[in-house]
Amino acid sequence: MEEKVSVPIQDKPHTVTTLEPGVLEKMVNLLVPLHQKQNPFFVPAFLCTYRRLTRTGQVLDLLFNRYAHFQPNCEEDEQVKNTLCSMIAMWLDQYPEDFCQSKDLTNLNKLMAYALLHMPSDRQV
């Protein structure tokens, strides 16, 4: 009599997490304010997990659309710019592959175009 052996299946289909409309935008809109408040958890957790929800390009689009216009000589806007620089530097340091994939530099180009237009020249990433 043959003995049957059970083998666990390793290749389960990946489940794709879907969000309700507007949730990703709300999460992206919280990145800068919570980073300004020095929340030690939200930005790192978001950067670690967002790929399960969307692409890097979409996060950049939402972030850069949210912070597309700044007032000249406005202290609050300068603080936002500095916070953006700090957060993007953290992102580049911890997840460089989000920007520097050898075949596709779209995200890096998008980041550089935004930085050249909006970031303080002494803080550009």
The answer to whether the beta carbons of residues 31 and 63 sit under 8 Å apart is yes
Q: What is the pLDDT of residue 102?
A: 67
CA-CA distance, 111 to 61, in Å (whole number)?
10
38 backbone φψ class: left, alpha, beta (φ>0; ψ -120 to 50): left
The answer to whether the beta carbons of residues 105 and 57 sit under 8 Å apart is no
Q: What is the pLDDT of residue 74?
A: 93
Low-confidence ranges of the chain (pLDDT < 70): 1-17, 102, 120-125
